[in-house]
Chain A
Amino acid sequence: MATMAVQIAGSPDDIPLRTKLQRVERRRKLRAVSLVLPLLLFILIAFVLPIGRMIFNAIHDDTLLRLMPRTMAALNAWDGKDLPDETVYAALVGDLKQASAQKTAGAIAKRMNYELPGALSEVMSSARKASALSAGLYKEALIEINPFWGRHDAWSLLKRGRSAYTAFYLLRSVDYQYGPDSQIVTSPPENAIFRDIFLRTLGISIGVTAATLLLGFPVAYLLATLPPRSRNLLMILVVLPFWTSSLMRTIAWVVLLQDRGLVNDTLIALHVISQPAELIFNRVGTIVAMTHIQLPLTLLPIYSVMKTISPSLVRAARSLGAGPFYAFWKVYFPLTLPGIAAGCLLTFILCLGYYITPALVGGPADQMIGSFVAYYTNEDLNWGMASALGAILLSATLLLYYVFNKLVGADPIKVG
């Protein structure tokens, strides 16, 4: 050790070895970072920020706080028991007048309507009439104009609006909502649709994943065992669907499966059925079309794992006395599990987000959560709901992925 230290200290330029190493390392790291920087920025701008924004939108809504500042301030003093007192009503009239003048009454009305169906027209008409009110007993006057302002739940809603953060959208996404006294209650049946839709999304995704696995596994096996020339041909057939737009493929299924489509015509001509079977615009059509699109994505990871399994393993099993099926089941199949897991996970997660295909070939009862996100984003312009549904889907996906990784990550196969 001592001699080494002497040597280092005595090196010609007198720079310690460690410093030199750090310098070289730093240059290397800089180069590495500069290479990944464009992708990093892209992911940040196109992925992390929007998703962060979405999750934020799911819990953040300051419409009432922003557009009704007086009411919100006055409500601080309200104990939430009976109706608020005169000062609060005075503040409300002030806010309504301002809203009417600045044309923001619509936004307020819409926001309140989310939580209290029917509030839209009440608030709009009140805003219009409020401008006629002059000083006096605002409380009675307002309730006179519109009994809506005598409702306790309307005031609970406004009191909740004092915070820029709300759990309303998230609660609504899992079929809960605020009751008249701001307590959490289950949604009434006409609003309680989202649990079903999440379950439906889950069910369709599991169904499609299972279908792609059942169809894809034998093909992957064939691909992995064929001689190279025929393998290439089959491989082209497998990835061919990738080269067509998924919209085109979906529409092709409409052509095939509709009432007077190819499949029904053939079956009727063969006298298998007398009436056209309902093959499209229902669950069958949805699963068929989605399976078709997802098949290569399940198949390819399985194939790539199968290709690495040495044929001598099955031969070894056979030579040890195992029949063809036993050798396959005990030796080959367990080794394909990582591929099956990867392929199924990929397909399953992609299925969770399907939107166009169910919209085109499914019935009303086959729409998945993606359709509702699209509806709230594009038509209802309810970004809070869209974000909340999206956030729940995202967390469910991450949770599934985590559980999956726990299960597969601990798998002994990886050690081998």
Chain B
Amino acid sequence: MRAYPYDLDRARKKLQSIKRNIVVWSSTSAAGAGASGCTGEGRGSMPGMDNAFVKFSGVQKTYDGETLVVKNLNLDIARGEFLTMLGPSGSGKTTTLMMLAGFEAPTHGSLLLDGHSIDNVPPHKRDIGMVFQNYALFPHMTVEENLAFPLKVRKLGKLEIEARIKRVLDVVRLGAYGKRRPGQLSGGQQQRVALARALIFDPKLVLMDEPLGALDKQLREQMQLEIKHIHEDLGVTVVYVTHDQSEALTMSDRIAVFNEGAIQQLAAPAELYERPRNAFVAQFIGENNRLHGKVVAMNGATCKVEIAGAANVQALAINVEAGRPTVLSLRPERVRLNPMPGSLPNVFSAQIAEVIYLGDHVRIRASVCGQDDFVIKLPNSEGVAQVEPGAAIAIGWKTEDCRALDAQ
């Protein structure tokens, strides 16, 4: 069954092929420095973004004609923004990126880059830099030859090419490695070469598909900051793909959380963590206690939830209705021990099962409301010493910290 016919819209004439704007490196660095200012306003999908630099409208993709790998994607990306697509493996992130790069054609919908449709523009004319997960450096060329490749294609002069290579090698701090082949570099160095190669021709847009996936943790964290700084310095628009939430939180202006081919939530990192819109996002970003219950009463912005047939919890109503099952999401660090009586609306007793000492903080696993994988995170300060496994203590949390979400 072919549920989603091809869009006739795709046949409409190509508006204008993308002009190659080859600007000298320094000129873009200066011009783009102030462009990444859309950080704070990331609420929802920004439907009315007029100056959208990249625009996905109604994009769908199926490989086999049966399942949609990308379902009706609408996404606007601002000029100079660092947007991350975050989601579990198989959620359609790479597919989305490949459609933007031109290696996969959308089954439906259309893509705009800088105001022009790119549906009929082949990949090499899109002027989009790309960093691949395995770096995709050309093994038979030296670092310099790799870097010169996009410049030679663009028929730049020899001197100009040399000057740019020197500059970009300095940016990624690989000045001494120009004559080496990729096989003679460490993973981190290869990664920097790949980055330099994607940036050297001053693309308007840079795509990165899990570029740090193959590096060890320490190097990954260092590279995250480096990429972030390069982005800030050059002002280039970046679309970044990762399945690592801490990476996404560290680097992004906005994060699009993907699951099963659809964006679950599109927001700035803090917003995503503080105010997840559904149970998937709450679960995927950061740690999260899940309490299953049923909404017994709605009360404006809050609701009353019954858990395990007994306790009543006051929670923020996000996407629930009265009488329906719900999942309460509560961050472990928002749980208070031994609250003052009357100070919190939600107070329950907890049976402590395990106390794990982690230096800067202490993790407590406890049984709360019949659920025995309830986690409490406490900063390592005075009160911690009194918590012993087996003890029963009172815990509590604020209504605002507890979000009643869809029970999926």
Contacts and interface: CB of A to CB of B under 8 A. Distances in A.
Interface in B10-68: 20
Contacts of A323: 122, 124
Interface stretch (A14-22, A120-128, A233-241, A314-322): A314-322
Contacts of B140: 334-335, 412-413, 416
Contacts of A321: 20, 124-125, 127, 150, 153-154, 201
B129 A319 contact: yes
Interface string B143-175: 000000110011000000000000000000000
A188 B324 CA distance: 107
Interface in A287-320: 310, 312-313, 315-320
Most chain B CB within 10 A, of A320, A326, A413, is at A320
Given A415-B181, A415-B184, A416-B181, A318 B136 contact: no
Interface string B81-122: 000000000000000000001110000000000000000001
A416 B201 contact: no
A211 B129 CA distance: 40
A345 interface: no
Interface in A400-416: 412-413, 415-416
Contacts of A320: 124, 129, 149-150, 153, 197-198, 201
A416 B134 contact: no
B138 interface: yes
B137 to A, nearest CB: 8
Contacts of B129: 319-320
A412 B130 contact: no
Nearest to B123: A318
B148 to A, nearest CB: 10
Band of interface residues on A: 20 to 34
Interface string A324-347: 101100110011000000000000
Given A335-B140, A416-B140, A319 B101 contact: yes
Contacts of B124: 318-324, 327
A316 B201 contact: no
Contacts of B101: 315, 319
Contacts of A315: 101, 103, 123, 130, 132, 136
A309 to B, nearest CB: 9
A330 B149 contact: yes
Interface string B197-209: 1100100000100
B134 A310 contact: yes
A412 B139 CA distance: 9
B276 interface: no
A317 B123 CA distance: 10
B139 A416 contact: yes
A313 B103 CA distance: 13
Nearest to B98: A315
Interface in B259-305: none
B134 A317 contact: no
Interface string A12-53: 000000000000000000000000000000000000000000
Contact of B132 (A312, A331, A412): A312
B183 interface: yes
Nearest to B101: A319
B128 interface: yes
Contacts of A319: 101-102, 123-124, 126, 128-130, 198, 207
Contacts of B80: none
A413 B182 CA distance: 11
A307 to B, nearest CB: 15
Nearest to B145: A330
B89 to A, nearest CB: 17
Given A315-B103, A415-B184, A416-B183, A322 B136 contact: no
B150 to A, nearest CB: 4
B262 to A, nearest CB: 25
B139 A322 contact: no
Contacts of A317: 138, 149
A314 to B, nearest CB: 9
Contacts of A310: 134, 136
A231 B1 CA distance: 26
A319 B197 CA distance: 11
Contact of A331 (B127, B133, B138): B138
Contacts of B126: 319
A335 B101 CA distance: 24
A310 B122 CA distance: 20
Nearest to B197: A320
A317 B130 CA distance: 10
Nearest to A411: B140
Given A318-B123, A321-B150, A322-B153, A313 B130 contact: no
A41 B277 CA distance: 75
Interface in A73-96: none
A323 B126 CA distance: 11
Nearest to A332: B138
Interface of B: 20, 101-103, 122-130, 132-134, 136-140, 149-150, 153-154, 181-184, 197-198, 201, 207
12 contacts: A310-B136, A312-B134, A318-B122, A318-B123, A319-B130, A320-B198, A320-B201, A327-B124, A330-B149, A331-B138, A335-B140, A416-B181
Given A320-B124, A327-B124, 4 more contacts: A313-B136, A321-B125, A412-B181, A416-B183
Nearest 10 pairs between A and B by C-beta? A416-B139, A316-B136, A320-B150, A319-B130, A321-B153, A312-B136, A318-B123, A416-B183, A312-B132, A334-B140
Interface of A: 310, 312-313, 315-324, 326-327, 330-331, 334-335, 412-413, 415-416
